Amino acid sequence: MRKFLVMLMVVAMASFLFVGCIFTVPVAVTGVTLDQATMTLTAGGATGTLVAVVAPADASDTSVTWSSSAPAVATVANGVVKPLTVGETTITVTTVDGSLTDTCVVTVEAAPVLPASATPVITSIDGIDFDSPDPQYMNADEVADGILVMGSAPKYSEINVYVNDEVVGTSTAYEAFEYFIVSVAKADLGDDGEKTIYATATEVASAESANSTEYAFTLDTVVPEIVSFFAEAVDLNENSVATLTVIFSEEIDEGSIDKASGQCLWDVTTPIGETDANPFEPTADPFDLVLSKVLEMKGTITEAGATAAAEAEGPISIRLGYDFTDPWLDGDIDDRDDLTFITDLAGNQLLDFVDFCSLELAN
């Protein structure tokens, strides 16, 4: 009897476990409800969020999908509605179990039109001469510490300065004079090249203003160099015509060349032996910028030069010197206001250069 009762209990327990595993009934979804039936958003503005409540709460599968009847008006993802353009769309939530649905009508309105801010007036920009009709340049020295843009705009308005349509500096118009100063770092000016600079203002509760007057300039921070030079003459006799040609790495400002005194190239000859005699004598008006990068200097062979050539039985040596730190110049060059420095179109000063070449016979 005892063994019978034990076997009966084992069979009962096994039957209970078997029935519990096989006959568990899933809980079906009976409905889904959105927390909002309507929603109003602003085109391009903040998103809205819909919350879907699936019934019953203990349903086996509570997952849902989302869709928009007009995705060009507004899109939806995981209940987050993003307004795009003015219009109306219906957001539908659908249960995976049973395909039950609920909807929300979303109206997307136009953003309010703000009044335009007053346009700022730029009164000065470092490196730009408003009164000059000539092309404007900014050189390495002028932008080394950045530049300042100054002007006037409505009080407390936010000022943006743009270079090639990119914001490079901001400030606020202040005080009763409604004045602003915007600092633009050298790095924010970008690479060398042609550029346009302007400013806008944004007043409180107003839209950004129209662009101020736009100013064009060329940023050039590369210092010019003498690439090469050569000298040639018809022959090496006294009074024979000779020409020294200098080639630069970029266009040179003709106005920076002191054509009359030759001071822009302080030494274009070298003394012969121990004397101060020069083999090459510049003409009265020696310099001619024959091309934007090519400078010619006219002169004649001196008696000393002809004698040196005859004794050497060959070409004589010519030195080209452009070095304002040379002891030949007495005193501090910063105090020598009469010096003429060769520059490129932007005003970058020519690099120092000293070298020799032979005075060759022209072909």
Q: How is the chain split into domains, by residue range? A: 31-109, 121-219, 226-361
| Res. 225: pLDDT tops 50 | yes
Class for the domain spanning 31-109: mainly beta
First vs last Cα of the chain: how many Å apart? 137
State yes or no: cis peptide before 120, omega within 30 of 0.
no
Q: Check residue 305 and give its pLDDT.
A: 80
The 10s digit of each residue's pLDDT in 330-340 is: 445 454 555 66
- Burial-class residue 66 by CB neighbours within 10 Å (0-12, 13-18, 19+): middle
Q: Which residue has the higher pLDDT, 238 or 196?
A: 196
| Fold match, 121-219 / 226-361 | yes
Least confidently predicted of 112-121, 175-184, 255-264, 301-310: 255-264
**Pairwise CA distance, residues 37 & 33, whole Å:** 9
Distance of CA 126 to the CA centre of its chain: 18
| Res. 52: pLDDT tops 60 | yes
Least confidently predicted of 3-17, 224-238, 256-270, 288-302: 3-17
Q: Which residue has the higher pLDDT, 323 or 112?
A: 112
Q: Check residue 139 and give its pLDDT.
A: 95
Bridge-based pairing of strands 101-109 and 38-42 is parallel
Q: Check residue 65 and give its pLDDT.
A: 96
Going by the DSSP 8-state scheme, the letter that residue 251 receives in this structure is -
Q: Check residue 328 and give its pLDDT.
A: 47
Q: Which residues 6+ apart lie within 8 Å of 67 measured at CB?
A: 76, 91, 92, 94
Q: Check residue 324 and give its pLDDT.
A: 60
pLDDT bracket for residue 32 (50, 70, 90): very high
| Res. 276: pLDDT tops 70 | no
Q: Which residues 6+ apart lie within 8 Å of 234 measured at CB?
A: 240, 241, 242, 361, 362
Q: Specify the CATH architecture of the domain 121-219.
A: Sandwich (2.60)
| Res. 113: pLDDT tops 60 | yes
CB 269 within 8 A of CB 231: no
Q: Check residue 175 and give its pLDDT.
A: 73
**Pairwise CA distance, residues 305 & 256, whole Å:** 30
Q: Check residue 273 and give its pLDDT.
A: 54
Q: Which residue has the higher pLDDT, 230 or 5?
A: 230
pLDDT bracket for residue 173 (50, 70, 90): very high
| Res. 12: pLDDT tops 60 | no
- Residues in the chain, total: 363
Mean pLDDT taken over the chain = 85
| Res. 309: pLDDT tops 90 | no
**Percent of the chain at pLDDT above 70?**
81
From the candidate CATH numbers 3.40.50.300, 2.60.40.1220, 3.30.300.30, 1.10.10.10, the one assigned to the domain spanning 226-361: 2.60.40.1220
**Pairwise CA distance, residues 341 & 347, whole Å:** 9
Q: Check residue 2 and give its pLDDT.
A: 60
**Pairwise CA distance, residues 89 & 103, whole Å:** 10
Q: Check residue 357 and give its pLDDT.
A: 81
Q: Check residue 281 and give its pLDDT.
A: 78
| Res. 327: pLDDT tops 50 | no
